[in-house]
Amino acid sequence: MPLDMAKSILVTGGAGYIGSHTVLQLLLGGFRAIVVDNLDNSSEEAIRRVGEIAGESRENLTFYKVDLRDKGALNKIFSSTKIDAVIHFAGLKAVGESVQNPLLYYDNNFVSTLTLLEVMASHGCKKLVFSSSATVYGSPKVVPCTEEFPLVAMSPYGRTKLVIEEMCRDIYHADSEWSIILLRYFNPVGAHPSGHIGEDPRGYPNNLMPFVQQVAVGRRSALTVFGNDYSTTDGTGVRDYIHVVDLADGHISALRKIFEDAETGCEVYNLGTGKGTSVLEMVAAFEKASGKKIPLVIAGRRPGDSEILYGSTIKAEKELKWKAKYTIEDMCQDQWNWASKNPYGYGSPGSTNYK
């Protein structure tokens, strides 16, 4: 069934890594995107570039620099525009930082979501897609993880995801007019094939591929490999890496379900590829794509890391009619394209994005 092409989607955190790629796919898919972001971990340049790639559809893009905890500002946006659904990406995501400063995470991730949901309810907007995370599976005894696996919080960050998931289930049970899709992402990597938008972490990169990318462009000297004594083929940790454009498309599929299926309820889906790749396999694929040697320093295991984590994608394939298309080679190729064109991300060597 074709969608009404004028649906307006409010995208929180739409200037960020996954958000910017999703906003682009929304515009290209004929939606209107209203981005709300406080630019805490992103740059307005990402939004400008999304508009550039979107061409004529850029007229359907609006940006508000607003913190989600600012209820008054949110109310104003909902009063001035009829919002058909919300995709909620905004949040802080550094696991280690959440252990050091849990209140920051409860305030920024939980309070902002509470505020958003209150404003949505008061304006009768009851359609939501939320960014959850595979972190809620902890260190499972078996893989692939299915959506029914037991859930566990390994950090305050993970606990905010679990609590928000539970809050969404409670809201739906109290009021079945809500349609909510909780998406548990595995490890998003890569960039839009244009090389104009990509991941640009502030400060020290916590995740594998942003670090590899910064080594490749000469911003860091070597990659520290956290453990080579796991029970995996080469001893390094295994994860389910997914191309960020595939992930973005997963949100469009989720929205379609919400708009087309009145019985959506509150459902959870894994977004991954269903395949595991080790740290050394990722490094080798990136070296091949970039032609750059990535010097390695082997170190001990990172506390809290699981050995092997990948997800089952069967439920998303069946019910969202979505399946990841891109390979590890594509992810590395596109990540290198972005990195080589933008070695300092959206910033410059002197800007705050470069530390």
Shortest distance, position 97 Cβ to ligand WQD, whole Å: 11
Binding map of ligand WQD across residues 54-93, x = CB under 6 A, - = no contact: ---------------------------------------x
Please state, in angstroms and rounded to a whole number, the distance separating the CA atoms of residues 290 and 215.
Answer: 11
Q: Which of 237, 250, 272, 345 binds ligand WQD (CB under 6 A)?
A: 237
225 binds, among ligand WQD, ligand NAD, none (CB under 5 to 8 A by kind): ligand WQD
Please state, in angstroms and rounded to a whole number, the distance separating the CA atoms of residues 213 and 256.
Answer: 34
Which residues carry out catalysis? 157
Q: Give the burial string for 85-113 (b: 16+ CB within 10 Å, else e).
A: bbbbbbbbbbbebbeeeeeebeebbbebb
Shortest distance, position 68 Cβ to ligand NAD, whole Å: 4
Q: Which is nearer to ligand WQD, 191 or 225 (CB)?
A: 225
Shortest distance, position 22 Cβ to ligand NAD, whole Å: 9
DSSP per residue, 156-181:
HHHHHHHHHHHHHHHHHHH-TT-EEE
| Total interface residues for ligand WQD by CB under 6 A | 18
Q: Does 101 bind ligand WQD (CB under 6 A)?
A: no
CA dihedral 139, 145, 148, 153 (to 10 degrees): 30
> Quick one: how many helices (H) and strands (E) in the chain?
12, 14
- Residue 153 · residue 119 · CB < 8 Å: no
Both tokens of 135, joined, read: 């972190």
Q: Are strands 127-133 and 241-243 parallel, antiparallel or unpaired?
A: unpaired
| Total interface residues for ligand NAD by CB under 6 A | 28
Both tokens of 200, joined, read: 């640009």
Shortest distance, position 88 Cβ to ligand WQD, whole Å: 14
Residue nearest to ligand WQD (CB): 237
Q: Does 16 bind ligand NAD (CB under 6 A)?
A: yes
Shortest distance, position 134 Cβ to ligand WQD, whole Å: 6
Shortest distance, position 84 Cβ to ligand NAD, whole Å: 20
Closest CA to 129 of 5, 49, 247: 247
Give residue 218's identity as a one-letter amino acid code: G
Question: Which residues ranging from 307 to 326 are in contact with ligand WQD (CB under 6 A)?
Answer: none
- Residue 39's CB is within 10 A of a number of other CB atoms, namely 16
Binding map of ligand NAD across residues 65-84, x = CB under 6 A, - = no contact: --xxx---------------
Question: Which residues ranging from 193 to 222 are in contact with ligand WQD (CB under 6 A)?
Answer: 206-208, 211
Q: Which is nearer to ligand WQD, 6 or 298 (CB)?
A: 298
Question: Which residues ranging from 27 to 56 are in contact with ligand WQD (CB under 6 A)?
Answer: none
Q: Which is nearer to ligand NAD, 164 or 285 (CB)?
A: 164
Give residue 142's identity as a one-letter amino acid code: V
Q: Does 198 bind ligand NAD (CB under 6 A)?
A: no
Please state, in angstroms and rounded to a whole number, the distance separating the CA atoms of residues 21 and 150.
Answer: 30
15 binds, among ligand NAD, ligand WQD, none (CB under 5 to 8 A by kind): ligand NAD
* CA 258 to centroid of chain Cα atoms: 19
Please state, in angstroms and rounded to a whole number, the distance separating the CA atoms of residues 209 and 57.
Answer: 31
- 158 to each of 121, 172, 224, how far by Cα in Å? 25, 22, 24
Q: Does 98 bind ligand WQD (CB under 6 A)?
A: no
Binding map of ligand WQD across residues 142-181, x = CB under 6 A, - = no contact: ----------------------------------------
Q: Three-state SS for 38?
A: coil
Q: CA angle, corner 13, sides to 11 and 15, nearest 5?
A: 100
- The site for ligand WQD (CB under 6 A) is made up of 93, 95, 133, 135, 187, 206-208, 211, 223-226, 237, 239, 279, 302, 305
- The site for ligand NAD (CB under 6 A) is made up of 12-13, 15-19, 37-42, 67-69, 89-93, 108, 112, 131, 133, 185, 187-188
